[in-house]
Structure 1
Amino acid sequence: MHLHKKVKVVLVTPTQPSLNPRLVKEADALNEAGYDVTVLCCYWNAWGAASDDEILATRAWKVIRVGGDPVQKRITYFISRVLHKVFNILTDKFRLTAFTHLAVARGSLFLMREVANHKADLYIGHNLGALPAIVKAAKKFSAKCGFDAEDLHRYEATYDRGQASYNRNRYLEDKYFGELNYLTTASPLMAQEYGELYPDKRPVAILNVFPKGPTFAKSINNGVIRLFWFSQTIGPHRGLETIIEALALLPEAPLELHLLGEGNMYADYIKELINGRPNIHLHHPIPSDQLITFASQFDIGLAAELNIPHNHDICLANKIFTYLQAGLAVLASDTVAQKQFMTEHPTIGQCYKLNNAADIASKLNLWLQQRELLLHNASAALKLGHGEMNWESESQKLLKVVSDTLAN
């Protein structure tokens, strides 16, 4: 039902749609509800740009990319990188906070300039690099603005309050959050912490769930059990080292580990990580729209989040919710947020002790010995994904927040 055709919403992000599936889901939901949606974004990497083309080919909302790119708009891209470095030096080295809103992301300046050309009723920011732009645009056009915090940004990179990244992000939050008409987050614990920092914002948690996928047929697997993990980048500090250490404790077990992500940045690390192990397989990045179907061929989904920095401890990343739609049993590290989620939904899999390879091996061995349990967990995950943990249900929270904001 299209009730809001004249209501214009501009979504702003310093990354690309393919690298921000949460933004894509939000744009889809708003467009389907009848809003006139425009997305302003920036180039991030080559595979993301290629994936954008596939994702956006089926979308009705408009996309405008600013800040250049290394292929078609090289000069603008070069200038943006130089300016970003200069702004970072001015902010971090010389403590000139007047440049903080320009230092936070390569495309911040270009997003601010572009969004000023788009009169809208509501501006929504994703990632701190978009925050100054949406607040300034809302002021210029006497409109509303909201921000979706997928991370607890001040603790996104460090818990050390002496670090430049902490001070920069806290400064931006303190300066601009007060101007927001609403604040959403990606996990209940994140909403709780932001609520303590900014009580008047009353943050709303909107989980990183996905639209319902196909009902993948599941049956007992008596052969090789395949583990799956994905990220934008395969690299260190993602919990993979402990997973591989656990596999080494089960040398004769019929197990495979499949990793999906960009590996060029950490080629040496990946080579050392695999170290000739034949049961570890690498997969190139794919468009986010294809991820759930691709994941469905595996048996166990790994949510190997670490608890450092603090942001990782309280976030619910999209991994678990991807595994639910794909019908995979979930093996999750016991960060505060994931332990809470797995305690609330114990039938979908198991939770292991952080940095404890022996405990991971024990959990895997249980599934190896009890294949019926593995099937039960996978089936329960799919049922949960098709029941309450899906975007069809969760998007209603977003639409209510937007509707209430525009009505007030």
Structure 2
Amino acid sequence: MKKILLITSGQPSLNPRLVKEADALAEAGYTVTVIYQYWNAWGTALDRELLASKKWQAIRVNGDPVEQKFSYWLSKVIHKAAKKIAKLIGINAITSIFALSRGTYRLIKKAKSIQADLYIAHNLAALPAAVKAASKYKAKCGFDAEDLHRYEAKTNNADFNFRLIKYVEEAYFPKADYLTTSSPLINERYQSIFPKLSFSTILNVFPVQEIDIARQNKDYNTLKLFWFSQHIGLSRGLQDVIYVLKLLENEKVELHLLGSLSIQVKTELDQIISAVNFSKAPQIFFYEPIAPDDLFSFASQFHIGLATEPSFSINNDLALSNKLFSYLQAGLALVVSDTSAQESFIREHPKTGFSYKKGDPQHLAQVLKSYIDDDTLLKNQQLEASNSAKFNLNWNIEQKKFLAIVEQTLQ
């Protein structure tokens, strides 16, 4: 029985793509272990529930700020110092490992202590660990590029973080036995950057959910908008939606937001709402993060899933987020900003929803008003979204591509 080690610098409950791969590998008969590290408190609470039901083993490294304080804070101090040193003496094979993340060195050490047939890295900070462990045991390794990493932030080729990520990609991508990406346009961009390498797209889809939207008794007198993320923030286009609530103030519209909400962001949202000068308080509801498996049934109570990405970076423009495919599984009609990736998706699946001009609340309001005026349109798009998720855009299909890549790599 072949052994596979998956490695992430995040946490399982915050990385559904890793969890789906681990589940698929375990179901296919592989012995699966996941190495991860602490990211935040609410993710840790969700991890306890998630990991209890899994057929694979999970090992956490690098401590945490509650029970393993010394290891946790030491890793942060080393990481901070390493970035300063790398800026002074340059980015190289050694400084890149310590400067890349607080946990890369310990991920390497732990991965090299576990012999496996295949090492799979999720997120860039885990890639050196997979490559070095595979080299030690003369095994195979793969990397899943969930994002276009060098362009996740605003592009500035002179920026230290850009140069660091570029160095790591160029140093380790050629050493991977396979490379996967999360969207067709990210795949194309990476292929243009590394023309001698081969990339395969594995979409951010989810297992088919047993949600029969045709039998749900939704109230269509009030249009219920839904948006979620790990963290509710103001870099993802939510300001446009606040302005839209003002434009549609005479209509029955609710906005439901799911995610971790900091005091600072809540204060900034309150300031935006105050500046918009509503004549009556807008209907905005906040929800704490929930277990990933509970997301779909929770989301299914709403009407429209919002993907309001503002193209703040090249990656943001080219990515297809988890939320878009989550909305489909929940049977929600899609309303998405016209990033390159999302606009392309709507062109390919026009009956699942609409796109709008990002940064244009007036256009977004027009799109939403079309649903208010025609609930039959909304119901038809919800049904199309649900059917697309059930028959085409789901992990039941996409995991076959992933498992085929793994099988071919291990031959």
Contact 1:220 1:371 in 2 (8 A): no
Question: Which residue of 175, 182, 188 maps to 1:179?
Answer: 175
1:59 aligns with 2:54: yes
Map 1:141-156 → 2, pairs under 5 A:
141-156=137-152
Partners of 1:342 and 1:335 in 2: CA distance: 11
Contact 1:237 1:306 in 2 (8 A): yes
Deviates more, 1:215-224 or 1:291-300: 215-224
Determine the structure 2 residue equivalent to 1:114.
110
Deviations 1:108-157 (A, max 9, x none): 11101111110000000011110111111011010000000000001011
Partners of 2:281 and 2:210 in 1: CA distance: 33
Contact 1:216 1:326 in 2 (8 A): no
Question: Which residue of 129, 141, 152 maps to 1:133?
Answer: 129
Q: Give TM-score, length-normalised by structure 2.
A: 0.95
Partners of 1:351 and 1:96 in 2: CA distance: 41
Determine the structure 2 residue equivalent to 1:364.
368
Determine the structure 2 residue equivalent to 1:329.
333
Contact 2:218 2:301 in 1 (8 A): no
Partners of 2:272 and 2:89 in 1: CA distance: 39
Q: Tell me the amino acid that sits aligned with residue 34 of structure 1.
A: G
Question: Which residue of 56, 73, 77 maps to 2:72?
Answer: 77
Contact 1:306 1:335 in 2 (8 A): yes
Question: Gaps spanning 5+ residues in structure 2: where?
Answer: 275-279
User: 1:199 Cα shift?
Assistant: 2.4
SS at match of 1:351: strand
Deviates more, 1:82-91 or 1:376-385: 82-91
Map 1:3-402 → 2, pairs under 5 A:
6-97=1-92, 98-218=94-214, 221-264=219-262, 266-275=265-274, 277-402=281-406
Determine the structure 2 residue equivalent to 1:3.
none
Deviations 1:222-253 (A, max 9, x none): 31111000001111211000111111111111
Partners of 1:131 and 1:406 in 2: CA distance: 18
User: 1:158 Cα shift?
Assistant: 2.2
Q: Tell me the amino acid that sits aligned with residue 335 of structure 1.
A: T
Partners of 2:392 and 2:110 in 1: CA distance: 38
User: 1:94 Cα shift?
Assistant: 4.3
Determine the structure 1 residue equivalent to 2:277.
none
Q: Tell me the amino acid that sits aligned with residue 327 of structure 1.
A: G
Partners of 1:366 and 1:385 in 2: CA distance: 24
Q: Tell me the amino acid that sits aligned with residue 194 of structure 2.
A: Y
Q: Tell me the amino acid that sits aligned with residue 169 of structure 1.
A: I
Contact 1:15 1:43 in 2 (8 A): yes
Deviations 1:40-68 (A, max 9, x none): 00000000000001111110100000000
Partners of 2:4 and 2:231 in 1: CA distance: 31
Partners of 1:107 and 1:141 in 2: CA distance: 22
Q: Percent identity?
A: 45
Deviations 1:72-128 (A, max 9, x none): 111111111111111111223543433112211111111011111100000000111
Contact 2:205 2:322 in 1 (8 A): yes
Partners of 1:266 and 1:133 in 2: CA distance: 35
Q: Give TM-score, length-normalised by structure 1.
A: 0.96
Deviations 1:8-45 (A, max 9, x none): 00000000001000000000000100010000000000
SS at match of 2:212: coil
Partners of 1:21 and 1:225 in 2: CA distance: 29
